[in-house]
Structure 1
Amino acid sequence: MNNKLQAVFIDRDGTIGGTGHFIHPKDFTPYPFSKEALDLLKEKGIKTFACTNQHRISRDEATIEDFINEFQAFGFDDAFICPHGSTEGCECQKPSPGMLHEAAEKYGLDLTKTAFIGDVGATDMLAAHAVGAMKILVQTGWGESSLTQYRHKWADIEPDYIAGNLLDAVNWLLQQERHPN
């Protein structure tokens, strides 16, 4: 049986760069280690997918194309973007796993053989948990507050790993690939 990691979903704001708050793609700067982290996954042939809630699209503050172009420039294989506001009742906005299901259908993924790296327990970790993906919480962005003042919002879920940042998360994932339990 092949347990190889098929893909890694990565949140944007607070995980790849920024502060955890919305920053328009033209003004967004990834953390200095983000490119190295993405390159490490590419070198191992692991697909990388951006997976992000971007409700500002519904307010006409940015377009899906702005984000798609940004993620292509960063080297992602694809991007799954929820453009809806929180009151629109969509199935794609994290913590709902709609974007993960969309990716699984599009790429023939077994979501239990994927990982999700994000900084928000109440969205990223819950979406990953819903599909059985490996859950890695980074301490950048909202990560620290997800582990402390907002921990009650996802108290029943334990991340598989708490990483200092995206590069730490990727290094840990690749170590798991080399030495599975």
Structure 2
Amino acid sequence: MKWSGIFIDRDGTLGGEGESVIYPGDFKLYPSAATALNLLKKTSIPLFAFTNQPGIEEGKATVQQFEQELSLWGFDYAYICPHREDSRCQCRKPQTGMLLEAGLKHRLDLKDCAVIGDRWSDIAAASAVGAFSILVMTGAGAEAQQKLTTLGLAPGLIVQDLLEAAVWISARL
């Protein structure tokens, strides 16, 4: 498979603790996440972070703080929805705004992209644009799997964590 981009969710996919939001500076990657990101960087496929961060709208952090953090971890680009769930914006997952914006800006065929996340909204956004979706069972993965079943959606692949997803992608280049 020729991947034109890989989109990765932050909270629950890269690291974090349960349902609580952890802001830049205090956020810790899962033990295997740095290895996974390094493996994906070696593929030369552009890495895109895409994340809902309503704390930005609430003044708890800034877009720049998230962008700096994500850049330090090796992401090429960061797409961040700063809005709360009730804002009805087009960028907050499961809406497709972040994926569509990245697709236009970077001339990506989203059908040739992988989306990796732990929430049903990550998988729903990927499905809506025709991207290949990978559900990780870290974070909210188990809950997401149940919700996706009720929505009639299925990820393209279910893996234990980001490292397993990175190995799977790397093996198919």
Q: One fold, TM greater than 0.5?
A: yes
**SS of residue in 2 equivalent to 1:56:** coil
Match of 2:9 in 1: 11
**Equivalent residues in 2 for 1:48-67 (5 A)?**
48-67=47-66
Are the counterparts in 1 of residues 148 and 154 from structure 2 also a CA contact under 8 Å? Answer: no
2:115 corresponding residue in structure 1: 116
- When structure 1 is superposed on structure 2, of 71-80 and 19-28 the one drifting more is 19-28
TM (norm. structure 2) is 0.95
Q: CA RMSD in A?
A: 1.2
Are 1:115 and 1:136, in contact at CA under 8 Å, matched by a contact in 2? yes
Whether contact under 8 Å (2:7, 2:115) holds in the other structure is: yes
2 CA distance for matches of 1:26 and 1:152? 35
Q: In the TM superposition, what are the counterparts of 1:42-81 in structure 2 within 5 Å?
A: 42-81=41-80
Q: CA deviation at 1:78?
A: 0.6
Instruction: Quote the Cα distance in structure 2 between the aligned partners of 1:98 and 1:46.
Output: 21
- State how far apart, in whole Å, the 2-side matches of 1:47 and 1:134 are: 15
Deviation at 1:21?
2.9
> Are positions 1:24 and 2:23 aligned together?
yes
Query: How many pairs does the alignment contain?
Result: 172
- Gaps in structure 2 of 5+ consecutive residues: none
From 128, 131, 137, the counterpart of 1:130: 128
> Contact conserved, 1:13 with 1:21, CA < 8 A, in 2?
no
Q: How many angstroms apart in 1 are the aligned matches of 2:108 and 2:61?
A: 30
Of 132, 155, 162, which residue of structure 2 is paired with 1:159? 155
Displacement of 1:176 after TM fit? 2.8
2:164 aligned to which of 159, 168, 175? 168
Distance in 2, matches of 1:86 and 1:147, equals 21
Question: How far apart in 2 are the matches of 1:132 and 1:16?
Answer: 23
Letter in 2 for 1:35: A
Are the aligned partners of 2:7 and 2:48 in contact in 1 as well (CA < 8 Å)? yes
Q: Structure 1: how far apart are the matches of 2:153 and 2:143? A: 15
Equivalent position of 1:33 in the other structure:
32
Structure 1: gaps of 5 or more residues: none
Counterparts of 1:164 and 1:133, CA distance in 2: 20
Alpha-carbon distance in structure 1 between the residues aligned to 2:124 and 2:26: 29
Identity %: 44
Q: CA deviation at 1:152?
A: 4.8
Matched, 1:105 2:104: yes
- Indicate the structure whose relative CO is greater, using CA pairs within 8 Å and at least 6 residues apart: 2
Deviations 1:17-50 (A, max 9, x none): 0024310111000011111111111111111010
Structure 1 CA distance for aligned equivalents of residues 110 and 168 of structure 2: 19
Deviation of residue 170 (structure 1)? 1.1
* Distance across 2 between alignment mates of 1:143 and 1:53: 16
Partner Cα separation in structure 2 for residue 50 and residue 59 of structure 1: 21
